[in-house]
Amino acid sequence: MATLVENLGKELEQIDRDYAAEFAGQSRLTRDLDLLDRIIKRAEGVLSRVGAIPVAAQGPELARLKEAATQNLELYRAERGAIVRAQEVGPTFESFSQEATSANFVFARYARHFAGKDRSTRDVALLGELVEELKQIDKRMTQLLEEADKKSSADFERDRKIVRENLTQYQKEIELIEKAHDTGTPEEQASVMATLANNQFQVYQTHFAGEARVSRRPALMMRVVTSLKRVRDKMKSLKAGGLDVEFNDKNMAIVDDRLGVYENELAEIRKVRQATPMTDIMGELGGAANKLFDQYRKEFADKPRTQADDTLLGNICDKLSEIRRQMMEMSWAEDNEMNARNLEIVTEQLVMFEGEYEAVVRAKASK
C-alpha cells in the first residue's frame, strides 16, 4: 500500500510533467495563463498538505518532498511572470528567448559531460564545439539587443551576460583539460589516452551505430575522427619517448582499426547527404526525432524517477540535441514549413527531456 509521502510525490511528479508538456520550451506569446494558474494551484495544494503533517511525523523523505514542491512552485510562478512579460514585449522577446533556450541546452550538455568530472578523461573537442555554439548564440543575441527597445534590453543583457560568463569558463576549462591530458607518468598518460579513445568509441555507438546515415551530422563524425587521430599521435609519441608497454601498443592498433572504419563511415555519410535533397534530409531528421520520442515514452513515461536510467536519458538528450542542431542549421539555409514545425516540436521535447534528466538525477541523489 502506497504511503502518504509516495502519493504526494507521484502527484507532484504528475504536476511537473503537465507543466513540462504545456509550457517548457514553448512560445510564451501563446501560453494560457489560466492553465498555468491551475498548475500553480495544484502545486500549492501539495505543499499545503505537506505542511499540514505534524512536525513529529515528518522524516527526511517528507523534507525532500517539501523542498522539491517549493522549488517547482517557484519555477511555475517565475514562468508566469515571464509569460506576462513576453506577451507585453512581443515577437522580439520570442526571438531572444529562442537563443536563451539554445544556450540552456549548451549549459545542460556541459553539466552532463564536464561538471564535477575528472578533467583527464574529458573530451576537449566536445567542449570546443560547445564554445563555438555559445559564440554564435552570443553573436545573435547581440544583434537582437541592437534591435530591442530599452524596456526589453535590460532583461536581454542579463541573459547575454550569462552566456558570456559561461563562454569564458568553458574556454578556461579547455586549457585545464588539455593540461590534465599531459599530466602524470608516461604509463598514466597512456592510460588516459585509452580512456579518451573509449570515449570516442562511445560517441560513435551513441550517435551513429544502427542509425540512418542521412540523418547523421558529418561534422560530428569528423570530430570523432580528429579526436582519435590526436589520441593515436599521443600514443605514438609516448612510445617514441621510451614507453614500451603492451597495453599501449594494443591500444594503438585498436585506434588505427577504428579510424579506418570511421573514416570510411564519414565518406559514406557525406556521399548519402550530398545525393539527398535537403527537404528529404529534413524529413529523415523528423523521423529520427520521433524514434527518440518513442524511446522516451517506453523507458521513462509514468515510471518513478528513482528507478530511471539517467545515462540512457542523457544519451537521448544528446541525440535529440544533435537533431535539433541540424534542423536549426537547415532553417537558416532554407525556409521550410515542415522543418520549422519539427524544430518547434523537438525544442519543446528537448526542454522537457533535459528537465526530466535533472529531476531524475536529483531524485536518485536524494534516495
Here the cell at position 100 is: 536563451
pTM: 0.78
Burial class (CB in 10 A: 0-12, 13-18, 19+), 337: exposed
- Asked if 119 and 84 sit in the same domain, the reply is no
Q: What is the dihedral of CA 212, 217, 218, 222, to 10 degrees?
A: -110
| Amino acid 91: pLDDT | 66
- Asked if 178 and 98 sit in the same domain, the reply is yes
Q: Is residue 81 part of a domain?
A: yes
- Asked if 20 and 47 sit in the same domain, the reply is yes
- Asked if 129 and 177 sit in the same domain, the reply is yes
Counted residue by residue, the chain has a size of: 367
| Amino acid 69: pLDDT | 86
Q: Is residue 361 part of a domain?
A: no
- Asked if 116 and 143 sit in the same domain, the reply is yes
Of the candidates 183, 204, 239, which is a domain's last residue? 183
Q: Is residue 189 part of a domain?
A: no
Of the candidates 151, 183, 215, which is a domain's last residue? 183
The number of domains in the chain is 2
Q: Is 302 left (phi over 0), alpha (psi -120 to 50) or beta?
A: left
Q: Is residue 296 part of a domain?
A: no
| Amino acid 138: pLDDT | 97
- Could you tell me if 186 and 241 are in contact, meaning their C-beta atoms sit under 8 angstroms apart? yes
Q: Is residue 227 part of a domain?
A: no
- Asked if 110 and 131 sit in the same domain, the reply is yes
For residue 44, give its domain range.
1-89
Cell 492553465 -> residue: 35
Q: Is residue 290 part of a domain?
A: no
- Asked if 1 and 62 sit in the same domain, the reply is yes
* pLDDT beneath 70, residues of the chain: 1-2, 25, 55-58, 89-91, 149-152
Helices (H), the chain: 4-22, 33-52, 60-89, 91-113, 124-147, 150-181, 186-207, 218-240, 246-274, 278-299, 310-333, 337-366
- Asked if 98 and 172 sit in the same domain, the reply is yes
- Asked if 161 and 85 sit in the same domain, the reply is no
- Asked if 45 and 95 sit in the same domain, the reply is no
How far apart are alpha carbons 108 and 100 in whole angstroms? 12
- Asked if 178 and 111 sit in the same domain, the reply is yes
- Asked if 1 and 47 sit in the same domain, the reply is yes
Q: Is residue 179 part of a domain?
A: yes
Of the candidates 73, 89, 105, which is a domain's last residue? 89
| Amino acid 1: pLDDT | 32
Q: Is residue 239 part of a domain?
A: no
